[in-house]
Structure 1
Amino acid sequence: MLKKRIIFSLLFSEGYFNLSRNFRLQRIGDINWLLNNYDFSNVSRSIDELIVLDVTKGKRDSTLFLDAVRKISEDVFIPISLGGGIRNFDDAKIFFDSGADKIIINTSLFDNSKLIDDISSVYGSQSIVAYLDIKKEQENFFLYKNNGSEKAKVKTSEFINDIADKNIGELVINSIDKDGTGMDFLYQTIDLLPFDITIPVLLSGGAGNFKHLYSALSDNRIDAVVTANLLNFVGDGLVTARKEIIGNGINLAVWN
């Protein structure tokens, strides 16, 4: 049985790391602030993977972004996934050449789906993470792209079924409604998945404490949880959460 995972996500925009609530960013600090306030060599012992997303809404500075990633990764020895602005193969190659174990694709899933095959033919399907941002409007669910700013013109269930069959390694389901609220995940989004999906499913948006992570990881449909809430898990928050989750019988990796 594959072990379940806890994944931490960092949101980078215009040189600063941010909190996000319903996709509205709140600037927290630059890379120096992050390194002074987070001991990532210690944090990395409490998470299984790290995601770093460039969510800059305007023109991205990949040099600035990748320099921050390099500084973070110097003492971190877990898989790192990078995303943000991947529109063609060269964009993905830059991230892989900079040390990414996986790359995250959102907007290009809708605008350039051939890119998945282009990347997987060189780096393998396991290196591609499809990231779907979902918003509930009345009783219906819609997919969004471009940092949640644009509703995708697709039928949600059909599109999810199609993406799940492509050459990707994992699928992230992220709730815009629950993003940054700390009020628990929106499990209805998981109901949108095909019952026979064969790739790992990661649930994101809404984690605020240990109980939220534990409940999600207890769900057989969910292989990993993603949290980007810097403040809810500051200090020993992630360390404590992992110990509690393992103590309650969840199959997470145990390190000495």
Structure 2
Amino acid sequence: MTRFRPCIDLHSGQVKQIVGGTLNSDNPDTLKTNFISPHPPAYFSKLYRENGLTGAHVIMLGPGNTEAAKEALAAWPRGLQVGGGINDKNAREWIDAGADKVIITSYLFPDGRFSQERLDAVLSSLGGDTSKLVIDLSCRRHPEEKKKEEGVWVVAMNKWQTLTDMEVNADSIKRLEPYCSEFLIHAADNEGLQGGIDSALVERLAEWCSVPVTYAGGGRNADDLEDVKRLSRGKVDLTIGSALDCFGGKGVTLAECVEWNRQQQQQ
């Protein structure tokens, strides 16, 4: 059953909605921000909790977000997932701090190359409990024009700026599924643009994944929830960020998303 999943994106300790492709740590002047919330992270945790919106992810985009993330978790212990800078040394600490699950990406790709050893280390730090681990395979379309048109996606790390050696495809999904409870996949080229979802990626994810998967990137309104449901045959969840009214958007209200989830549960 497709459902709406919310998020809390943290940048420099504040809740923000950012155009994903502009998160260039080498040139902060290029950063494009859609929204900076006047509310603290805990405000959104409580909002999601009150509306029964489980499975939300808190993403720390760069340094300076640790306290903000802990504040969010404290407001809803075991209700949120947390990612951004997670590794084998701190994964357990985040679970102890109240995270339901931890999300990893960049740590798995030293120098842009996938490391099974690092994945094993993170899982070991969690006592081998795959139910506590989410693998983030956020990606960008292949830079070669032909492959871009064909629909080839490459895992992107370091705030979606560095392409790795792993494609998001049936083989990589099958390889990683035994080590996690779900996947989180941002289409970084679509993130924050409110220009629509990557329909081809949503369809492929439904074909490839046998564990829960959440897609984020380009969601504009409730119609996109219906599209993801149709394209994935109810197998893929959707995160909507910048278009939400609670993030300054005008495409859809949080109340509409809550109602949409309720209707899906009744079907």
TM-score bin (small chain): 0.7 to 0.9
Correspondences of 1:62-73 after superposition (within 5 Å): 65-73=65-73
1:114 equivalenced with 2:120 (yes/no): no
In structure 1, the partner of 2:228 is 216
Correspondences of 1:42-61 after superposition (within 5 Å): 42-44=47-49, 45=51, 47-56=53-62, 60-61=63-64
On the 8 A contact 1:180/1:206 being kept in 2, the answer is yes
User: Which whole-Å CA distance do the structure 2 matches of 1:53 and 1:130 have between them?
Assistant: 13
In structure 2, the partner of 1:41 is 46
On the 8 A contact 1:142/1:156 being kept in 2, the answer is yes
Amino acid at match of 1:167: Y
Structure 2: give runs of 5+ residues left out of the alignment.
Answer: 23-30
Correspondences of 1:59-208 after superposition (within 5 Å): 60-61=63-64, 65-76=65-76, 79-86=79-86, 88-111=87-110, 112-121=115-124, 122=127, 124-136=129-141, 137=143, 138=145, 139=149, 140-157=152-169, 160-193=172-205, 195=207, 197-208=209-220
Amino acid at match of 1:55: L
Task: Report the CA distance shift for 1:252/1:222 in structure 2 as closer, same or farther (over 3 A).
Answer: farther
User: Larger deviation: 157-166 or 131-140?
Assistant: 157-166
Task: Report the CA distance shift for 1:193/1:164 in structure 2 as closer, same or farther (over 3 A).
Answer: farther
User: TM-score, normalising length from structure 2?
Assistant: 0.75
User: TM-score, normalising length from structure 1?
Assistant: 0.78
Displacement of 1:143 in angstroms is 2.2
Amino acid at match of 2:265: N
2:109 is paired with a residue whose SS is helix
Task: Report the CA distance shift for 1:98/1:37 in structure 2 as closer, same or farther (over 3 A).
Answer: closer
Task: Report the CA distance shift for 1:67/1:81 in structure 2 as closer, same or farther (over 3 A).
Answer: same
Deviations 1:89-146 (A, max 9, x none): 1121221121111111111233333233333341511111111122224324322111
On the 8 A contact 2:194/2:219 being kept in 1, the answer is yes
User: Which whole-Å CA distance do the structure 1 matches of 2:68 and 2:164 have between them?
Assistant: 31
Deviations 1:165-194 (A, max 9, x none): 331110122111211122221121134448
Q: Which structure carries more helix by proportion?
A: 2
Task: Report the CA distance shift for 1:252/1:72 in structure 2 as closer, same or farther (over 3 A).
Answer: farther
Amino acid at match of 1:243: E
User: Which whole-Å CA distance do the structure 1 matches of 2:266 and 2:54 have between them?
Assistant: 9
On the 8 A contact 2:17/2:192 being kept in 1, the answer is yes
User: Larger deviation: 184-193 or 153-162?
Assistant: 153-162
1:198 is paired with a residue whose SS is coil
Task: Report the CA distance shift for 1:244/1:169 in structure 2 as closer, same or farther (over 3 A).
Answer: closer
User: Which whole-Å CA distance do the structure 1 matches of 2:256 and 2:73 have between them?
Assistant: 22
% identical aligned pairs: 17
Deviations 1:9-67 (A, max 9, x none): 2221222222121332427447xx223995643343152222111111xxx24xxx332
User: Which whole-Å CA distance do the structure 1 matches of 2:206 and 2:76 have between them?
Assistant: 35
On the 8 A contact 1:133/1:175 being kept in 2, the answer is yes
Task: Report the CA distance shift for 1:114/1:221 in structure 2 as closer, same or farther (over 3 A).
Answer: farther
On the 8 A contact 2:60/2:66 being kept in 1, the answer is no
Root-mean-square deviation (CA), in Å?
A: 3.1
In structure 2, the partner of 1:251 is 265
1:173 is paired with a residue whose SS is strand
Amino acid at match of 2:253: G
Amino acid at match of 1:15: G
On the 8 A contact 1:19/1:230 being kept in 2, the answer is no
In structure 2, the partner of 1:227 is 240
